[in-house]
Structure 1
């Protein structure tokens, strides 16, 4: 049987967003999760045209799991020295952990600069060259959109070499790498995060700074949880109390009793489903780790199904 294969056509960003600052930057700020998912991180609190001295960065945001600042410089057409200077100025001024240059075409010398910065630049700083693309199938009117990552750090967390990690940090990173892989198989549309050497891993629950997560706690214990940590303490309490009013239904549906922690000493609140452990992360056997990953996948799957629509309703209220 003959099959007709059509070519992919690429279009300039101006064919969809006429003005870079007024249209594209605004759209990207409102849809920052699309860029985050491409990189396997969580970006929140995106703000357009934020002041950096006498200048203003296109977008400044926050990476959820590390708390690091994200600086994004957008550019139509081919990269130039002027935008490179701006990118480095904003990155330095904000002490950015993530610096992203978005452009339609990257000059080889500019790619080389970002690659050099990833190899020899400031410790902890990560530089990306990303090409936003508008595409269509030949002859079709409908347009599609994607990001093409041109430059990214080698091994991602290059600032934390394996040799410099403690046994616990090494174990956390390995554990959550396996957890991410297992959960992405359970939920194919869930985008894979890039775990760090930390005792927790979180991802967005649909409201900025309200996060689902897996976390190791003292006890020792491991938990599936919802962590509510917006900048507004009253808002955190409102979300927590609204969910607690539905505690009976939630726990009945899950078939477990949850721990509802107001955390009065902090600005945040937490709802968690804990599991006691026989030892710390470094003391667990391979079988215990595997069983814990299986439990974490099953528990998070049910936990997310139960809380997601309730959180979504709160976000739209």
Structure 2
């Protein structure tokens, strides 16, 4: 059977968001998780028109897993030198770990600048060129939206080459890569993150500064946890105390005892379900790693089911 195939039509961003600053930037700030999902990272605490000296960056945010600053410069139409200058000024002023230029069309010379910065720029700084696209099929009036990555850091898919990682770092990356794959099968709508060579992997719990995570700790132990560290210390304490008052109900529902940890040295707190280990991650057998992944998927699934409604209620207070 032959099916009709229609052409995809591309539309200006103005066909949906009339004004770049007032409409598109505001929409992206409120929907920053869509951009984060495309890149496989976690972005939180997005703020529009953030002051940088005498100027204002379109969006400044934070990457949750690394704590690095994210600077985003939006531009309608084709890129120009003026916006490039702004982008570099804001990135420098905020000491950004992630710098993102969103535009409808990138001049070749501007693409080359970002590629050059990824090659020779400040150590650890990552530069992206991203096209936000509005599309429709055939003559349809419905609009679709997507991001097209035009420039990204070298080795972004792997973050750094495995050859430069220690055995411990490679073990963390391999473990969490398998964990991400397993958890995305359990929850198909959960978007995949890009694991780094770190002892933990976290993702948003629905409130800025509050995140779910898998982590290896001294002991040794592996835990599923809720980590609370908002930009407001009092707010963090309020969230922890509100959940602590429901400790009996939470633990009864989960069927386990949790560790409720205040971390005054970090001005944060943590609620975790630990699993003791026989050794560090580099000492675990393949069977032990497989068991931990299965355990981590089950425990995190239960954690999300239990804590998300409670956090949602707190977020609406």
> Into which bin does the TM-score normalised by the smaller protein fall?
over 0.9
> Contact between 1:50 and 1:59, CA under 8 Å: does it hold in 2?
yes
Displacement of 1:158 in angstroms is 7.3
Q: Map residues 167-246 of structure 1 onto 2, 5 A cutoff.
A: 167-246=167-246
Question: C-alpha distance in 2, partners of 1:89/1:233?
Answer: 30
Displacement of 1:77 in angstroms is 0.4
Question: C-alpha distance in 1, partners of 2:97/2:159?
Answer: 11
> Contact between 2:155 and 2:161, CA under 8 Å: does it hold in 1?
no
Displacement of 1:154 in angstroms is 2.3
**Is 1:138 the counterpart of 2:144 in the alignment?**
no
Question: C-alpha distance in 2, partners of 1:114/1:104?
Answer: 16
> Contact between 1:123 and 1:159, CA under 8 Å: does it hold in 2?
no
What corresponds to 1:39 in structure 2?
39
Question: C-alpha distance in 1, partners of 2:304/2:159?
Answer: 32
Deviations 1:102-139 (A, max 9, x none): 00011122112212221222210111110001122222
The size of the alignment, in residue pairs, is 317
Displacement of 1:206 in angstroms is 0.1
**CA distance 1:188–1:159, shift in 2 (3 Å):** closer
Q: Map residues 5-20 of structure 1 onto 2, 5 A cutoff.
A: 5-20=5-20
What corresponds to 1:27 in structure 2?
27
What corresponds to 1:260 in structure 2?
260
Displacement of 1:208 in angstroms is 0.2
Displacement of 1:2 in angstroms is 4.3
Question: C-alpha distance in 1, partners of 2:244/2:287?
Answer: 35
Q: Map residues 76-87 of structure 1 onto 2, 5 A cutoff.
A: 76-87=76-87
Displacement of 1:3 in angstroms is 2.6
What corresponds to 2:96 in structure 1?
96
RMSD, aligned CA:
1.6
Question: C-alpha distance in 1, partners of 2:26/2:11?
Answer: 19
Paired residue secondary structure (1:241):
helix
Deviations 1:6-38 (A, max 9, x none): 322211011111111111111111111111111
What corresponds to 1:124 in structure 2?
124
What corresponds to 1:272 in structure 2?
272
Paired residue secondary structure (2:282):
coil
Structure 2: gaps (5+ residues) = none
Question: C-alpha distance in 2, partners of 1:291/1:297?
Answer: 10
Question: C-alpha distance in 1, partners of 2:242/2:145?
Answer: 37
Displacement of 1:167 in angstroms is 2.2
* TM-score normalised by L of structure 1: 0.95
What corresponds to 2:115 in structure 1?
115
> Contact between 1:124 and 1:159, CA under 8 Å: does it hold in 2?
no
Displacement of 1:265 in angstroms is 3.5
Paired residue secondary structure (2:147):
strand
Question: C-alpha distance in 2, partners of 1:241/1:139?
Answer: 55
Question: C-alpha distance in 2, partners of 1:213/1:159?
Answer: 20
Question: C-alpha distance in 1, partners of 2:112/2:216?
Answer: 40
